[in-house]
Structures are given as structure tokens and as C-alpha cells.
Amino acid sequence: MSTPIKNLGCIGSEFRGHARPAVIDLSDPDHPREVDYPTFHASCDAMARGLRRHGLAPGERIGILCSNRLEFLEIFFGAMRAGIIPVPIGILQPKATVEWVVRDARVRLVFCDGALRAHLPDDVPCVDVDADGQRPYEAFKDPGPFEPYAPARDDVAFQPYTSGSTGRPKGALLSHRAHTWVAETISRDRGFCATDRMIVAAPLYHKHAMNSIKCVLVGGSAVILMRKFEPRRYIEAITRHRVTVLSGVPTIFAMILQQRDLIEGQDYSFVRLATMGGAPASDVLIDEVARMFPRAEIVTIFGTTETSAALFGPHPQGKPRPRHSVGWPVAGNRFRLVGDDGDGDFGTLYVQGPGMMNGYYNNPEEMARRMKDGWFDTGDVLRRDADGWYYFVGRADDMFVSSGHNIYPGDVELMLERHPDIDQAIVVPVPDEIKHRIPYAFIVKRAGSPLTAEMVKAHSLENAPPYQYPRRVIFVDALPLNGVGKIDRKALEARARQLSEPTRPVDA
């Protein structure tokens, strides 16, 4: 007899009798909301009952257009308990994209922040989470016990939409089976336990933040939930709530370290784990993070919406992970690196594994393009060393050709950030009539540094092939971020193109 599939909405429910914090909501930093495990699970059950009372059936979809807040989690996990599919919607998306996602997913009801109600189509019912008066959100709930939906093997748990870097966002169908396995695997590999407190400031509609939440619940830990990332408030929250686990893109850590007046003299020895993903991190950044958090294990992580974040982890025999490696293959996954060299140790990552999505919703053409002979093309370039450890190089889409040479911006950025006076570096391509593309670099230099563009170029020529050195260096106070906290490369590339254009005389 086959093992029953667990309902993803119920992960961590074995802790529902433990009166310790599950969520500390800092969406209003001056008035934190602390909710323990019994209250959190009772609220999720009440949401599940409310959705059923509203007439929604298993397999139907609801939208969540909310900022980071406790209610987002109650809706998300409550819906899955009822077999209803939550569709998280990016709160920074323009109105046209929000409407497109709502139509594409065929959602029957949307829960939204009051300020975002105007982004929704008029003919789609919504529950305003912020409304006063009769408090429609609380009235929607139906308190009481709930028997969770028992999913079949491929039943969809939730449907996030990818960023749409190659067109419209694509809805990924993620199953209860796959993502219960993902949450349990990551939580185990990273050692989550009841004494952990993890801070989450990345948007919950993005896979990175939601993976963190699921790991917390599996471990019986607590999440410190921020509405958005603000460096100084983030540091204050770490100190006040004695956060043990941090996670973010390298940019987040770089911005934390820039708050030197706030972190100087503080003792952060209670932090045990700091994970970085989304882009390569320089040795300088890793060393500075290690100095700030002296007892923390610093781990580079990697994952995709379609194939999960449970691809790489610790070595099964406990061998130490090399610096910058995203880890050792997690049991059950299979990988291929497809590149021009043919040796299989460098190239675009193709995956087969238990955390894979079922497919793209209502988009068989894109699925056929990305799935080839049973292997999913992630679009990410990785390399494998002689011992079998894997390393993230960059997005295949980010790579550009200059004078016949392939340039991966991440490689150049790591080289630039090894300079002691460079806090952050981003490299983008600019069209060139002779070389096809040439690299420009945006640099955030260390406060008070006398660094010049010529010094940056000299450092590049000393430490990298000549085709990689930035032909122009632009100093900025800060790098722009997109909605999920990553560097907005598109905005920087557009600015670089503007700077590269010859100055035209103004018409009289």
C-alpha cells in the first residue's frame, strides 16, 4: 500500500500544541504581533473552513495580493489545507500584469492589502485584509476543527508565477508531494530546530521567502517577518529578537555591512547560519559576513522555482563544503551540464528530481521548450569541480559575447569585489560596433575610499583576461533592487546604454 501524500498546508502541524512563537509579524515595526503555534494553526484551519463555506472546492484557485504579513501565511497554508490552490501575486507588479495573472490563473477570489485593491479587475471578488468596520477578513474565517484535504500524487499545492524575464510570467504548478519533500529536506539539511529564529524580509510571493517559511514550520522554529527589507530595521530585528538564521542575496548582506555605525561593537555570536543565493558572493563579502557573525556557518545556496531549492546540500559523509560551492547533489536529483566544451563539467544545468514542478499552467509551449527528453533546462550556468562539488556561474541569459569571448558578469563582479575598496559591483553589456558587446561596471565603493575609475580598470587588467575589463566605470551610492531584492540588471543595462550613446547637439 502506497504512503499517503502529505498536505503541504499542514507542515509543522505536529507542533500545534506547543505554546511557543511561530510568527513574529513586524509589518508594523512599532507594534509587533506575536502568534504561537496553537493560534497559528487554528487560524489556518479557520481560513480553510471559511474558503469551503464560501463555496470554493478543491482544485480551484484564490489569489493573494498581500505584503509580508501574518494574514498572508494564514491564507496560504489555510487554502492548501482545503485543497484550494493559492496563487501569490507580486505586489510591485503593474496593474496590467496583476490583472493578467488573475485572468490567466482563473482565480475565483483575491485577498489583498487595501492599498492594492485598485490593481484588481472590478469583476473579481476580493477580501480587503485592511478594511475596518466589519473587519471582512476576520469575518471570512470560520473557527473550528478542520479535516485537511488528502491530496493525490500530483495534486497542485500552490501556483507561483515566475518573473517573466523572457515574456509574460509563467505559472508553475507545484505539488503537495514535491514541496513537502523539499521543505523537509531543506529543513533537515540546514538543521532547523525549536530554538531557531529566522528573519524573512524577502517578499512572500517569491520562492526564496516561502521556502524559508516552510523550513521554519517543519523545524518548529519561529519566523521574524518583515514587511520589506530595510537595512537598519533588519539589523535592529536581528539584535532584538536574537535571530539565529539569516538568508538573502549577497546584495542584502552587503547593505547590512554598510551600516557600520549600527553593527560596530555588537555581539552576534547567537547567529548560527547565514545562507546566500541568487548571485555569486565575493571572498571579501564572505569574510566580512564571517567577521560580523563569528559563529555562523556561511552557505551558498541555489534553486529555481521549477526544480526547487532542494537540489544541492551538505556532503552525505560530512566532507567540508568548498567556499563558493552551492553544495553536493541531494539524493534523488540527477544533473547534466550542457555546454560547448563537451566534458560535462561546465554548462547550462538540466535537472530531473523529486522537487520538480508538474508543468507550466496553461502554457504547454513553454514547457515543451524547457523540458527536453525528460530533463528540465534551468537556464542557469554551473560548473563541477574534480571532486564533484557544484558552483553557480550565472544566468545563461546574462552571458554576453565580446570579441568572440563569452563573458559571464558574475565572474567579472567577483573579481572586482576582491578589491578592498569595492563594496558592490555589477557588470552589464553595452553594444559596440567592433566588439559586439563591451562590459560597463557600476561600482559602490567603500565609504571614504579614494577609488577612481582608472584604479578599477588597473585592478581588472591585473586579475582577469583583458576582454573582461570594464570599458567604463560608473560610481553609484547604491544599486537598484527589483521586487524580490535582487539587483535590477535591466535598469542598469538601460542606464549604461544611455551613457554609451554619443552626445547629440540640442536643436536650436
Question: Mean pLDDT, to the nearest integer, of 148-166?
Answer: 87
pLDDT of 3 > 90? The answer is no
Q: Which residues contact 333 (CB under 8 A, 6 or more apart)?
A: 310, 311, 351, 352, 353, 354, 355
> Can you give the pLDDT at residue 206?
86
Whether the per-residue pLDDT at 1 is higher than 60: the answer is no
The cell numbers describing 141, all together, are 474565517
Q: Where are the domains of the chain?
A: 8-228, 325-395, 400-498
Mean pLDDT of 306-315: 95
Which backbone phi and psi does 427 adopt, to 5 degrees? -115, 130
Percent of residues in the chain assigned helix, strand, coil, to nearest 5 = 30, 25, 45
Query: Which cell is 120 given?
Result: 484588481
**Would you state the pLDDT for residue 482?**
76
In the chain, the percentage of residues whose pLDDT exceeds 90 is 75
DSSP tally for the chain: helices H, then strands E:
14, 26
- The count of other CB atoms within 10 Å of the CB of residue 64 is 24
Collect all residues with Cβ–Cβ distance below 8 Å to 166 and sequence separation of at least 6.
Answer: 397
Question: Does the structure show a pLDDT above 80 at 483?
Answer: no
What are the DSSP calls for 31-75, one per residue?
A: S-EEEEHHHHHHHHHHHHHHHHHTT--TT-EEEEE--SSHHHHHH
485 Rama class: left (phi>0) / alpha (psi -120 to 50) / beta: left
Fold of 400-498: GMP Synthetase; Chain A, domain 3 (3.30.300)
Euclidean distance between CA atoms 125 and 127, whole angstroms:
7
Q: How far is CA 395 from the centre of its chain?
A: 15
Tell me what pLDDT residue 296 has. Answer: 97
Looking at per-residue confidence, does 506 or 166 come out higher?
A: 166
Say which CATH topology domain 325-395 has.
Luciferase; domain 3 (2.30.38)
Question: Using one digit for the tens of pLDDT, what is the confidence trace for 257-298?
Answer: 989 899 988 999 999 999 998 777 888 889 999 999 999 999
**pLDDT grade for 134, boundaries at 50, 70 and 90:** low
Contact 443, 436 (CB under 8 A): no
The answer to whether residue 65 scores a pLDDT higher than 50 is yes
Q: What confidence tens digit (pLDDT) does each residue in 164-222 have?
A: 545 688 999 999 999 999 999 999 999 999 999 999 999 999 888 999 999 999 999 99
Residue 115 exposed, middle or buried by CB count within 10 Å (0-12, 13-18, 19+): exposed
Mean pLDDT for the stretch of residues 418-437? 89
Q: How confident is the model at residue 133 (pLDDT cuts 50, 70, 90)?
A: low
Mark out the alpha helices in 265-393 (DSSP H runs): 283-292, 364-370
Record the cell numbers describing residue 187, joined without a space: 529543513
Q: b/e per residue, 335-344, with b = 16+ CB within 10 A?
A: bebbbeeeee
The 10 Å CB-count burial string (b at 16+, else e) for 262-272 is ebeeeebeebb
- Cα distances from 452 to residues 228, 248, 256, 457, 467, in angstroms, run 33, 30, 24, 9, 20
Residues 328-344 have pLDDT tens digits of: 999 999 999 998 665 68
pLDDT confidence of residue 177: 97
Residue 507 pLDDT grade (very low, low, confident, very high; cuts 50, 70, 90): very low
Gap between the Cα atoms of 8 and 211, Å rounded: 12
pTM: 0.87
Query: What would the DSSP string read from start to end of 457-504?
Result: HHHHHHHS-GGGS-SEEEE-SS--B-TTSSB-HHHHHHHHHHHHSPPP
* Max CA pair span of the chain: 84
Taking only the tens place, the pLDDT of each residue in 445-468 is: 988 899 999 999 999 999 988 889
Provide the strand spans (E) within 137-261: 156-158, 172-175, 197-200, 222-225, 245-248
pLDDT at 382: 94
Task: Let me know: does 332 contact 354? Beta carbons within 8 Å.
Answer: yes
Whether the predicted pLDDT of 309 surpasses 90: yes
List, for residues 214-255, the tens digit of each pLDDT value.
999 999 999 999 999 999 999 999 999 999 999 988 888 988
Domain 8-228 has CATH 3.30.70.580: no
pLDDT tens, position by position, 363-397: 999 999 999 899 999 999 999 999 999 999 888 88
